[in-house]
Amino acid sequence: MSCIKLSKKQAVTLLSDNNKYLAHVFVKGVKGEFVEIEELMEHWFKKIDYIVQKMTEQNDMCEFFLQVIKPSLLSKSE
C-alpha cells in the first residue's frame, strides 16, 4: 500500500473490516483524487504473474484478492 502513502496502521485499517475502508478509497479516491489508486493498480498489474501464482497455490488468496479489487469496479474515476 506504499503507493497510497499511508502509515502502517492506516494500511492495516484498509484491509480490516472486510476491506470497507479500501472500498471507500477505491470509489471516492484519496481526498477526491485517484492518482494514487491508479498507481496501486498499475503496481498490481506489473505483479500479476506473481499474484496469479499465489492465487493458484492458495484458494483463500484468490478470494482475498478478488474482494480487494472488487470496489475498483465501482470507482468514480474513469
- The domain segmentation of the chain, as residue ranges, is 2-71
Query: The dihedral of CA 21, 26, 27, 28: what is its sign?
Result: positive
Single pTM value for the model: 0.63
- Residue 64 is predicted with a pLDDT of 79
- Residue pair 67/19 in contact by the 8 Å Cβ criterion: yes
As averages over each run of 10 residues, the pLDDT of the chain (78 residues) reads 68 76 81 84 89 84 80 71
Average pLDDT, the chain: 79
> For position 76, what pLDDT does the model report?
67
Residue 75's φ and ψ, nearest 5 degrees, are -60, 145
